[in-house]
Chain A
Amino acid sequence: MIKYKIASVDSIIIYFAESISKENVAIVQHNYVLLKNLKHDGVIDIIPSYTSILIHYDLKYFTNDSIIEFLKQNLSFEINCEKEEGRLVEIPIYYDMEVGFDLERISKLSSLSIEEIIKLHSSTVYSVYTIGFLPGFAYLGEVDKKIATPRLQSPRKKIPKGSLGIADNQSAIYPVVSPGGWNIIGRTYLDMFDKNLDSFSYLSVGDRVKFKPISKSEFINNGGVI
């Protein structure tokens, strides 16, 4: 059941569901795109997440009552899951123990070989659930249950830019050097956040993502740094 809740004097949060599922995420993403495309001057920021959308609105245009009215008129719940799928983005990854510091840990916990882990991770098509934590840090779901791995007990102080990680059933790439507790399994040479890109972030909420294993030489030749 959809719920509108006050977030602050000039923002409202829409709860579409109470649990994370592919269907719920699809409804959020559908409505995020829909609201974004309205390009309403009175809507300042839209933050989609797993089950909710936060709207920061301009008090020159809306009150708490009128924003709810506006949302009720514009949100839509009839979505065609097959048609609604976002663009498919392929991301090259150098999966190796040299850059995948936690491949061995996952291998121990899952009793799978490193080859099997790479195969499972790169054969799934993921969906961008939300972006946050860092600019361009996209939360991808869902990682195959067999290799879903809890965060490290104590986070690493420095994770290299482009590192691909797993935390529980989610995967993400660190767009910049950062502290973090995700299990690192590989690295990409792509810039996940680039101020010169039109969209700034390589991925957007709603995109579908597939990882393509590449060799060390392909990684290095394209500008990858070990």
Chain B
Amino acid sequence: MSCFKVISGGLLSLIEDFGRFGLSDKGITNSGVMDEYAYIILNKLLQNSVNTNCIEIALGGLKLEVDDTCTIAVTGADADFSINSKKVDIWKTHNLKQGDLLEFLFAKNGARIYFGVKGGFDIKKELKSNSVTIKENIGKNLQNGDILNFLDNDILYETVYLKKEFIPSYDTNLTLRVVLGYQDNFFTKEEIENFFKQSYTISSQNNRMGYRLESQPIKCKIDGIISEGISFGAIQIPKDGQPIILLKERQTIGGYPKIGSVLPIDCFKLSQLKAKDTINFKPISIKEAQEKMELFNSLIL
């Protein structure tokens, strides 16, 4: 069997795929890749099926050595990526040979890098998915010395790359589109206007579960609600008025009021932001939001 050996696991490198669905009623979070755009492109470049597993590398620091030929690709955050200490482009495929050393330096722009191999890593699924969720004891982050097997040592003879115009710029200021809903009727009209008017800073509390923001507090007429299901991108307003956008490893149910939810396609961009980056919110109607999602799905899948 062919494999990659982990020389250095980096900050937080996780095996992920689209995630785990149909188990939220057992308290199991969806998990999965944070930036689906970069992940989908990765598998397209490698001619993999859509849900093939990959490594999601937070910021960088991962070092790997390969013991066979294969085709790999890298997408996501703008980090220097080198093969045998020679810097090479990302958003394209590369062919490797036995003994090649791969190194991901820390991202200059963006927060998450995606690394995949043609055919995927040979890892047994747990609860129908390869996605690691550390807080649920489902898998763990890559450690020095780990071995990642893969099955496909055939290479692609033509280099596949993404056209420049489709490579995201990962701006440090984003406007996120929000579908109002949930407890939006418990916010005054002025408070909702204020919610869309002000700017927010990403706090240091940002991870795969959610991003906590800093701003002038948003006031809700109620402190808590009867616990209920939480959707991807939901914006929770806790007592202190600092919004939290809930992402892939969110808790399945919760008791804080929510003003609405960020569009998933904007959450993917949010996942590439770091502490101190800034965002704004903009309302979007459900009808237009569903059209935007369909457009994304038709372009990409």
Please give the residue numbers on chain A whose beta carbons come within 8 Å of chain B beta carbons, in ascending order.
5-11, 13, 19-20, 32, 36, 44-54, 56, 59-60, 63-64, 130-137, 176, 193, 195, 199-201, 204-205
* A53 and B229 form a contact (CB under 8 A): yes
Contact B27 A134 (CB under 8 A): yes
Assembled-state Cα–Cα distance A181/B261 (Å): 29
Chain B residues near A131 (CB, 8 Å)? 25-27, 252
A132 pairs with B27, CB closer than 8 A? yes
The distance from the CB of B185 to the nearest CB of chain A, in whole angstroms, is: 9
Knowing A47-B252, A49-B228 are in contact, say whether A8-B261 is a contact too (CB < 8 A): yes
Chain B 87-119 interface residues, beta-carbon cutoff 8 Å to A: none
**B57 in the interface, Cβ–Cβ < 8 Å?**
no
Let me know if A47 and B24 touch, CB within 8 A. Answer: yes
Q: Given that A6-B181, A45-B22, A46-B24 are known contacts, is A51 also in contact with B290, CB under 8 Å in the complex?
A: no
Expressed in whole angstroms, the Cα–Cα distance for A47 and B21 within the complex equals 11
Most buried by B among A8, A49, A50: A8
Residues in A whose Cβ lies below 8 Å from that of B21: 44-45
What residue in chain B is nearest A131 (Cβ atoms)? B27
Contacts of A11 in B (CB 8 A): 229, 231-232, 261
Residues of B within 8 A of A8 (CB): 179, 181, 231-234, 260-261, 264
- List 16 contacting pairs A-B, 8 Å CB cutoff, sorted by A: A5-B181, A5-B182, A9-B179, A9-B263, A9-B264, A11-B261, A13-B182, A19-B226, A46-B24, A56-B24, A64-B287, A133-B27, A136-B26, A176-B137, A200-B28, A201-B27
Q: Beyond A10-B231, A176-B137: 9 further Cβ-contacts under 8 Å? A: A9-B286, A49-B253, A54-B229, A63-B290, A131-B26, A132-B253, A134-B27, A135-B28, A135-B136
| B133 CB to nearest A CB, Å | 9
- Who on chain B is nearest to A8 by CB? B261
Question: Mask for B208-249, Cβ within 8 A of A = 1, else 0?
Answer: 000000000000000000111111111000000000000000
Check if A135 sits within 8 Å of B261, measured CB to CB.
no
| B193 at the A interface (CB under 8 A) | no
Residue of B23, B182, B226, B260 near A200 (CB, 8 A) is: B23
Chain B residues contacting A9 (CB-CB under 8 Å) are 179, 233, 261, 263-264, 286, 289-290, 293
What is the bound-complex CA distance between A51 and B179, given in angstroms? 23
A54-B228, A130-B227, A131-B25 known; A7+B293 contact, CB < 8 A: no
Tell me which residues across on chain A come within 8 A of B22, comparing CB atoms: 44-45
Give A24's nearest chain B residue, CB to CB.
B226
**Interface size counted on chain B using CB atoms at 8 A:** 43
Q: Is the CB of A52 within 8 A of B26?
A: no
Q: Chain A residues near B180 (CB, 8 Å)?
A: 6
The closest CB in chain B to the CB of A52 belongs to B228
Asked if residues B26 and A54 are in contact (CB atoms below 8 Å), the reply is: no
Assuming A7-B182, A7-B234, A64-B286, is B264 touching A136 (CB within 8 A)?
no
Which of B26, B179, B181, B261 has the largest count of A CB atoms less than 10 A from its CB?
Answer: B26
Q: Does B294 contact A (CB under 8 A)?
A: yes
Bound Cα distance from A8 to B177, whole angstroms: 11
Contact A47 B253 (CB under 8 A): yes
Contact of A48 among B25, B181, B251, B294 (CB under 8 A): B25
B27 near A137 with CB under 8 A, answer: yes
- What's the least CB distance linking A165 to chain B, in Å? 16
A16 to chain B, nearest CB (A): 11
Contact A51 B181 (CB under 8 A): no
CA distance in complex: A76, B26 (Å): 23
Contact of A47 among B25, B127, B287, B293 (CB under 8 A): B25
Q: Indicate if the CB atoms of A49 and B226 lie closer than 8 Å.
A: yes
In the complex, the 6 A-B pairs of residues with the closest C-beta atoms, listed nearest first: A54-B229, A47-B229, A8-B261, A6-B181, A132-B253, A8-B231
A27 to chain B, nearest CB (A): 14
Residue B191 lies at the interface, judged by CB distance under 8 Å to chain A: no
On whether the beta carbons of B290 and A64 are closer than 8 Å, the reply is yes
Residues of A within 8 A of B254 (CB): 132
How far is A193 from B297 in the complex, measured between Cα atoms in Å? 35
Known contacts A6-B286, A47-B229; A130/B253 CB under 8 A: yes
Task: Report the minimum CB–CB distance from A22 to chain B (whole Å).
Answer: 15
Q: Do A195 and B127 touch (CB < 8 A)?
A: yes
B126 within 8 A of A: yes
| Residue in A7, A20, A49 whose CB lies within 8 Å of B231 | A7
Cα(A62)–Cα(B258), bound, Å:
23
* Contact A52 B179, CB 8 Å, known A137-B27, A201-B26: no
Name, among B28, B137, B290, the residue most crowded by chain A CB atoms within 10 Å (CB to CB). B28
Q: How far is the CA of A63 from the CA of B286 in the complex (A)?
A: 9
Residue in A5, A53, A59 whose CB lies within 8 Å of B290: A59
**Interchain CA distance A9-B234 in the complex, whole Å:** 10
